[in-house]
Amino acid sequence: MSFSVRRTRAVLVKELRDFRRNRFIIGTMVVLPLLFLIVPIADLFRTAAPRVLDAQVGTSLLLLLIAPVVVPATIASYSVVGEREQGTLEPVLTTPVRREELLVGKAFAALLPSVAIGYVLFAVVVTAVRFGANQVVVDAVWQAPNFLAQALFVPLLAAWSIWVGIAISTRSSDVRVAQQLGTLASLPPLGIVALMTYQVITPSITIAIILAAILASADILGWRFVGVLFDRERLITGHKPTRA
């Protein structure tokens, strides 16, 4: 049987319905982005000295990239171990759903709100800057590369964070531990962006595209890797599969 879009969509719809009614997830989706919104706006509304302006803008935009890393990590880390704790995983695994379909459905359910949050945050910040900040700051922020970087890195970082989160979730036995580890483990790619922000690596479109390509490859590998980790027997019994 081939990959079924219908089954994947069923997983996606269920996940989104469940998120909508889960106070913890709604809280994570609201509170964390607000934190990452207030700091950059406050920072960009200060008039910086010209010599530190680039760093100030870079730091603010970097903060905006933390939300699409942390939010999906929290959701994705919950996705498998959370179901196991609730006792809902076993009935799902008894259906014809393939692990690829289940994983892609869960990943998209975490990706969609995360990317939406990332883009909305960026839109709010650049709009606020456009109408309220010093013209020097406006000129520094309203640069095409900044828009390109956000457009590229928000979904790619979120996807990376999701696969890391799901990978940890499949091997964890406790939701909170999975969420803490998932958030921590998804941060390293942000380090490269930070190096660019602080100009340790000279930022350029070339570098941005190369990094985006590397991140995209890592996301695909992450999907395949998580697929290998996701074993029905281990998830149900906690034992390594012992086939004849």
Residues that bind other proteins (CB under 8 A): 1-7, 9-11, 13-14, 17-18, 21-22, 86-100, 205-206, 209-210, 213, 216-217, 220, 224, 228, 231-233, 236-237, 239, 241-244
- Count of CB atoms situated within 10 Å of the CB of 5: 12
Least distance CB 125 / other proteins (angstroms): 25
Q: Which residue, 120 or 210, has its beta carbon nearer to other proteins?
A: 210
* Residue 189 Cα to chain centre, angstroms: 11
DSSP state of 187: -
83 with 92: CB under 8 angstroms? yes
Least distance CB 158 / other proteins (angstroms): 17
| Residues 189-199 as b or e (16 or more Cβ within 10 Å = b) | bbebbbebbee
Q: Which residue, 124 or 208, has its beta carbon nearer to other proteins?
A: 208
**Environment class of 187 (CB within 10 Å of its CB; exposed 0-12, middle 13-18, buried 19+):** middle
Least distance CB 141 / other proteins (angstroms): 21
Distance CA 82, CA 198 (A): 38
Least distance CB 224 / other proteins (angstroms): 8
Least distance CB 236 / other proteins (angstroms): 5
Q: Identify residue 207 by its one-letter amino acid code.
A: I
Q: Which residue, 86 or 199, has its beta carbon nearer to other proteins?
A: 86
Residue whose pair of structure tokens reads 């704790």 in the numeric block: 85
Q: Which residue, 127 or 217, has its beta carbon nearer to other proteins?
A: 217
Residue whose pair of structure tokens reads 């991140």 in the numeric block: 215
DSSP state of 2: P
Q: Which residue, 22 or 59, has its beta carbon nearer to other proteins?
A: 22
Q: Which residue, 129 or 157, has its beta carbon nearer to other proteins?
A: 157
Least distance CB 11 / other proteins (angstroms): 8
